[in-house]
Structures are given as C-alpha cells and as structure tokens.
Amino acid sequence: MSRVHRGQIVAIAVIGILLGVIGLIFPGATLFTVAVLFGSFLVAAGIFRIMASVTAEELSAPLRWLSAILGVLVVITGVLCLLDPWGSLIVLAFVIGIGWIVDGVIDFMAGLKHAIRPRWFGFVSGIVSIAAGVAMFVLPAAGVAALVTIGAVLLIVVSVTTLLMIPRRARTA
C-alpha cells in the first residue's frame, strides 16, 4: 500500500515538516490562526446544534428548546472569539485545563476503584493530568504557547520519521 501512495506520503510528510517549522518560527501567527479556527469551530458547532434542535423529532420539545438555546450561546461565544482572537486563546486554555482536570479525576478514581492495572498508573496519570490542568489555569497564555511549540516539534519529528519509514524503491536493471 505504501508503494502505491509513496508520493502522497512524501507530500504529507513534507507539508508536516513545513507546518512544524512555521509553528516554531512564527508562534504568534500560529496561535492567532488557532484562535480563529477555534472561534470558527464554535460558530459552526452552534449552527449545527441549532439545526439539530429543529430537525431532531425524537427529542421532546423542552430538550429541543434547550439545544437551540445552547446552540445560540455557542454561536455567540464563537463570534466573540472571532472578535477577540487573543482572548479566545485564554478561553481555549481554560477549556483544555478543565478537560485535563476532569480526565485526571477520572483516572485517579479509576485507580482507587481498581479499574486500572496497575493501580499506581491511574494515580500517576490522574495527578499529572490535574497538575497540567491547574497549570493551564495559572498560566493560560504560556500553556497554549507551550502546546504550539511542543506540537510543532512533534509534527516535525513525526514527519521526518514518516519519511524515513517509506520503503525504498526497487532498483531496475
């Protein structure tokens, strides 16, 4: 399969390397782009929720109204993020932080209830996730900037390893 799509794999890897380098050289522009994409996503998600509330016949009327109101709030949030992209990065950092804290609590509780083997892994994972979430609340701008830098480096590393793993072409006589 990789022989058939060799050119596509090379193209994707090269694009990954270029995007990673851009992320490292222009972290501010990259963060701005992420902020605009985040706001755009919220607008699209809100519109989808509004449309779903109108077309979801299996939901009761109160749930449909709740979904529509939530959709309107999400659209308004997305528009506000687009109006202030830098402020939306702080919101994004808080959303990431909340997600990590919730995941950390879940992992820690899974360790307490013996749902993860070995148990200590649940404890360690939970503590690390909670600490990362708290860090995103304490230093949101630095946290998001660090994610862009780490993401850019990882994108370069993954793209280079992809290039190195492509099978060599068979030599013709």
Confidence of residue 7 (pLDDT cuts 50, 70, 90): confident
Average pLDDT rounded to a whole number, residues 158-167? 86
| Average pLDDT of the chain to the nearest whole number | 87
Mean of pLDDT values over 25-45:
89
113 three-class SS: coil
Q: Is the pLDDT of residue 31 over 50?
A: yes
pLDDT at position 132 is 92
Give the predicted TM-score (pTM) of the model.
0.64
For residue 128, pLDDT over 80 is answered with yes
**Residue from 41, 42, 36, 46 nearest 82 by CA:** 36
What is the arithmetic mean of pLDDT over 86-101? 87
Alpha helices for 56-118 (secondary structure H) = 61-83, 85-112
pLDDT over threshold 60, residue 143: yes
Per-residue pLDDT band at 1 (split at 50, 70, 90) = very low
Mean pLDDT, residues 88-115? 88
Question: Percent of the chain, pLDDT > 70?
Answer: 95
What mean pLDDT comes out for the span 5-15? 86
Element (DSSP H or E) covering residue 29: helix 27-55
**What number of other Cβ atoms are within 10 A of residue 1's Cβ?**
6
pLDDT score of 95: 85
